Amino acid sequence: MKIGFIGLGNMGGPMAANLAKAGHEVTGFDLAAPMPEGVSKADSAAGAATGAAVVITMLPNGEILKKVAAEIIPAMDKGACHADCSTVDVDSARAAADMAMEAGLLAIDAPVSGGVGGAAGGTLTFMAGGSQEAFDTVKPLFDIMGQKAVHCGPSGNGQAAKICNNMILGATMIVTCEAFALADKLGLDRQAMFDVVSTSSGSSWSMNTYCPAPGVGPQSPSDNGYKPGFASDLMLKDLRLAMQAAESADADTPIGQAAMELYAQFVEAEDGKGTDFSAMLPRFEARGRG
Ligand code: NAD
């Protein structure tokens, strides 16, 4: 298949390389990043989109997505599909999809979970929003870049699934970290705490799979000096998107709001920038109630 790929950064680079390795003809464009192996270079976003059956974008935010969509849509053949895999706000995802559909194209928003390791290893999870036809068109490519793709409904629903998931993740990571810090102060051994909680009703992915306490549970960024992993800055981005969506949909999300404020404080006013999002544990450990 002829594929255009725009946004070849930490995530897009290895995703495009995997498509090329699988035998697809991939033409890429990025303002700064180098071309991954097997990907031919276009001089513009429109150049990468011309003649492609599917154009994939992997960009930093919704404003850039809308700008790039306006550049590529006029260059795409009728019936071709724009698949946006960036994490952006739901409203921008829907606006980009509307632009594409009005021009007679297919469109799908398909943000990913799995991080840079998942992108390199081809083990991402895709959460997709768009028509069945758009999903069926891009599914073979999702299968190369990832291990699972879930069709979540119409345009924007992929982004909705992503931010709801990450709101749960951010909140459970915070409460897992504060519980470990409380347990420390109560004299409860961390391994004992893990053994109980990971098999009890307080269990979660944050505790069982990505335990924020070093030396406890499976290997995780806490065992590597809290080097990301999934950076606190990216968690803050996703929590802000969740709160933006909650405001736009008039949804009451007090715990999501508190999680967003804590990550904002951690990243912007403390020393959380560039650390894994589980580094909330040493943060809580070092504090009292005051
Ligand atoms: P990145 O900053 O490494 O890559 C983004 C790329 O887009 C850059 O190379 C940049 O030069 C390019 N770009 C920006 N504007 C452009 C334009 N107008 N035209 C062409 N290229 C342009 O970011 P990333 O880590 O690859 O993340 C990409 C997206 O994936 C983000 O939305 C992010 O939230 C999401 N995401 C990232 C991770 C992760 O762990 N890094 C995990 C899941 C989802």
pLDDT digits (tens, 9 = 90+) for 230-263: 999 999 999 999 999 999 999 999 999 999 999 9
Report the relative pairing of strands 2-6 and 54-57 from DSSP bridges: parallel
**Ligand 1 centre from 86 Cα, in Å?**
7
- Per-residue pLDDT at 166 exceeds 90: yes
Per-residue confidence band for 290, with pLDDT thresholds at 50, 70 and 90: confident
The residue whose CA is least distant from atom 30 of ligand 1 is 86
How far does residue 111's CA lie from ligand 1's centre (Å)?
11
- Check 2, 162, 227, 273 and give the catalytic one: 162
Nearest ligand 1 atom to alpha carbon 67: 18
Residue pLDDT, tens place only, 206-238: 999 999 999 999 999 999 999 998 999 999 999
Average pLDDT over residues 197-208: 98
pLDDT 10s digits, 91-126 = 999 999 999 999 999 999 999 998 898 999 999 999
Question: 3-class SS at 2?
Answer: strand
Does the structure show a pLDDT above 90 at 53?
Answer: yes
CA of 216 to the centre of ligand 1 (A): 33
For atom 21 of ligand 1, the residue with the nearest CA is: 30
Q: Is 162 a catalytic residue?
A: yes
CA of 153 to the centre of ligand 1 (A): 24
Residue to mutate, 35, 56, 58, ligand 1, most ligand atoms under 8 Å from C-beta: 58
Ligand 1 atom closest to the Cα of residue 230 is 40
Tell me how far the alpha carbon of residue 258 lies from the centroid of ligand 1, in angstroms: 26
What b/e string do you get for 188-223 counting C-beta neighbours within 10 Å, with b at 16 or more? eebeebbeebbeeeebbebbeebbbbbebbeebbbe
Which residue's C-alpha comes closest to atom 12 of ligand 1? Answer: 7
Instruction: Write the burial class of residue 16 (CB in 10 Å: 0-12 exposed, 13-18 middle, 19+ buried).
Output: buried
Distance between CA 263 and CA 177 in Å, rounded?
Answer: 13
Q: Residue 71 has what pLDDT?
A: 98
Which two tokens mark 247?
A: 């405001």
Neighbours of 283 (CB within 10 A): 21
**Average pLDDT, stretch 124-134?**
98
- The set of protein residues with a Cβ atom below 6 angstroms from ligand 1 is 6-12, 29-33, 45, 58-60, 64, 68, 86-87, 112, 115-116, 234, 237
Best mutation site among 5, 15, 30 for ligand 1, i.e. most ligand atoms within 8 A of its Cβ? Answer: 30
Instruction: Tell me how far CA of residue 277 lies from CA of 123, 211, 256, 282, 285, in angstroms.
Output: 21, 11, 15, 11, 15
Query: Which ligand 1 atom sits closest to the C-alpha of 7?
Result: 7
Backbone angles phi, psi at 280, to 5 degrees: -60, -25
Residue 95: per-residue pLDDT: 97
What are the beta bridge partners of residue 129?
Answer: 109
Does the pLDDT of residue 135 top 90, yes or no?
yes
Least Cα distance to 220 among 207, 232, 233 occurs for 207
pLDDT at residue 185 is higher than 90: yes
Backbone CA torsion sign across 149, 152, 154, 160? negative
Inter-residue contact 129 to 155 (CB < 8 Å): yes
- Ligand 1 centroid to Cα of residue 184, in Å, is 38
* pLDDT for res 3: 98
Q: Mean pLDDT over all residues of the chain?
A: 97
